[in-house]
Copies of this chain bind each other. A is one copy, B any other.
C-alpha cells in the first residue's frame, strides 16, 4: 500500500449529480493546489453515470455507463461514490475495497445499513474508507469524532442533521404556519423534495444518527437500531407550547452513552423535541445543520455549517479524497472504524426522556389530583404543571390550581405538564392512561423535552 512511485492518483467517480458535478469542477479548477497537498496530481480517470447525454460539462471520453468496469480499472486508486442507495452501490464498493481501492462515499443509507461490511473489506485489504460527506454536509464532524476526540470519552452527540425538517420547523416557529403550509413553502424554495418522506419521517436523520453513534461509541449501530419519529405530527400548537416554556422545537438526532446497572449502553434516536432557547442548537435555523458533542474531558463542543448543497458536500468529499490520495502517495492509512466497545443498544422504551404533555380537561375540582395520580402510578415524577383557562378564564402560572373538593362549575382548561426524566415506555403508558380519565377531554400535544446536558432547573420547575 505504501507509495505509488510518483504517478498520478487515479480517481473514479460514480454518479455525477448536484454533488458530483461540483467535485469534477473543483478537481479541475484546483488541480495544482490539490496536487501540492496530495504530493501527486489527482487524475479523474472516469465518471460512471446512467444517462451520458445529461453531462455535457464532463469530457466525453471520461463518461461511461459501465460502473463495474470503471471500478475494476488498474489505474483507479480511489473510488468516489455519489450515487446513493443500497444496490448496486454496495456490491461495487465492496469489490473496490476488496481489490485495495480506497473509497470515499457520501452514502449515508449504505453506511448506516452495512457500514460493517464495508469497514471489514477496507480493513482486510488495507484500503481507506472515508465518508465525512455522509453526515452534515460540509461540517467537519466524523474526523473530529474519530480522531480529534480519540483520547476522550464522548457521552453525547446531539444535532440538527436534516436541513429540510429544520427549515420547516424554523418556518413554523417564525410565521406560525402549520406543518402543511411550511412543507409547501419548503418545496417551493427547493428545500424539500417532491416526495419528502426520507426527510420529514426522519429516515435521513436516522441514518446519520447510526453513523454518528457508531463512531462516537465504537459500536456498530445500524439505522434499524435508531428509534425514529418524524415531524409530520408537530402542530402549530406544539410550537406555541414550546415557546411558552422558553423552548423551541427541533428534530434532533441524539446518540448517548447511557450508564446503567449492567454497564454502559447506547441510545440512538431521532425525534422532535423541545430544547431550551438558550441552548446553542436552538438558534440554528433554516437549512443549517449543527451538532453538539459532549465529551468527558473536552466538555461541550458545537459544530455548525451547511448540511447540504452541491459545493458544500463536494468540499467534504474532496477533503476525504485528498486524505485517501495522500495515503496512497506517502503511505499510511486512515483511521479504522472500530466496534471494539460493542455496547448494547437501549430500546426506546427503556431510554430515559422527559415529556411535555398538554391535556384538555374539565376545569373542575379534583382534576389535577386525578391526573397527578396517573403519573404517580406509572412512576413518573412531574417537574412543572401549568393550568390555562381555555375560555378566557383565569390561569395561574407555575403551580396549578386545585381547589380540593369545593363545588365549582366545570369549565374547559388546559393542563400543561412537564415531567422529570423517566423511561420512555412509562411516559407513553402514562399518556395512554390519561386518555381514559373522564375529566380528560383529550391529549392536545405530547413532545419530548431535551435539556441536552443542561440541568432541569433551567427549564423552571415546581419542587
Contacts and interface: CB of A to CB of B under 8 A. Distances in A.
B299 A306 contact: yes
A144 B322 CA distance: 13
Contact of A305 (B147, B151, B298, B319): B298
A450 interface: no
A149 B297 contact: no
A319 B151 contact: yes
**Interface-centre pick from A30, A319, A333 (highest chain B CB count, 10 A):** A319
A2 B335 CA distance: 15
Contacts of A139: 301
A33 B144 CA distance: 18
A26 B283 contact: no
A148 B152 contact: no
A442 interface: no
A304 B301 contact: yes
Nearest to A27: B151
Interface residues of A, number: 59
A323 interface: yes
A36 B150 contact: no
Nearest to A333: B332
Contacts of A283: 283
A150 B37 contact: yes
Contacts of A22: 297
B315 A306 contact: no
Interface string A154-187: 0000000000000000000000000000000000
Given A297-B26, A298-B306, A147 B152 contact: no
Task: Quickly give the copy total for this chain.
Answer: 2
Contact of A151 (B298, B300, B318): B318
A107 to B, nearest CB: 18
A137 to B, nearest CB: 8
B138 A33 contact: no
A340 B26 CA distance: 19
A298 B303 CA distance: 13
A132 interface: yes
A5 to B, nearest CB: 18
A302 interface: yes
A65 B409 CA distance: 83
Contacts of A311: 296-299
A401 interface: no
Contacts of A327: 332
Interface string A196-227: 00000000000000000000001000000000
A82 interface: no
Contacts of A148: 132, 140, 143-144, 316, 319
B335 A297 contact: no
Given A30-B153, A140-B140, A140-B144, A314 B331 contact: no
A88 interface: no
A364 interface: no
A60 to B, nearest CB: 25
Interface in A108-164: 132, 138-140, 143-144, 147-153
Contacts of A36: 218, 338, 340-341
A37 B150 CA distance: 7
5 contacts: A132-B148, A138-B299, A150-B323, A299-B312, A331-B331
Given A36-B338, A301-B304, 15 more contacts: A30-B153, A36-B340, A37-B150, A37-B218, A138-B299, A140-B143, A140-B148, A143-B143, A143-B148, A144-B148, A150-B319, A152-B318, A299-B311, A299-B312, A301-B303
